Amino acid sequence: MMEKVIGTDLSKFTSILYNDNPSYSGIVAGECKGDVWVDNIVEPTLALVYSFTVGGFSIMGSPNDVSVYDDFMEFLRGNFFLELKSKGINYFEMFF
């Protein structure tokens, strides 16, 4: 299950960092403002990152285990979308 990360530098986990996406990678590294949810707090392979500046989300990482994606979709449907709705956000668009 995905877990929200607060005050943790995740820059050593290159599997969830992208050089071509510095605004989101900066959030993962703790250099920029935003929120990060990861599949595993100790060794993350998948991250959902929210950028306050961009006003949007990025899905980052590439897990080796396909079940991580199933857990991620369960997290979105069961927890995350409900949290967004409670904050008055009634839409979420994503592409794979």
Tell me the per-residue pLDDT of 39-62, one tens digit each, with 9 for 90 and over: 998 999 999 999 888 888 888 988
Residue 93 lies in a domain: no
CA distances from 66 to 3, 71, 81 (A): 18, 9, 22
Quote the CA–CA distance of 95 and 38 in Å, as a whole number.
Answer: 18
Q: Number of structural domains, the chain? A: 1
Structural domain of 41: 3-86
Which pairs from 29-32 meet CB under 8 Å and 24+ separation? none
Domain-embedded: residue 94: no
Low-confidence stretches of the chain (pLDDT < 50) are none
Non-local (6+) Cβ contacts of 95 within 8 A are: none
Determine the 3-state secondary structure of 14 from DSSP.
Answer: helix
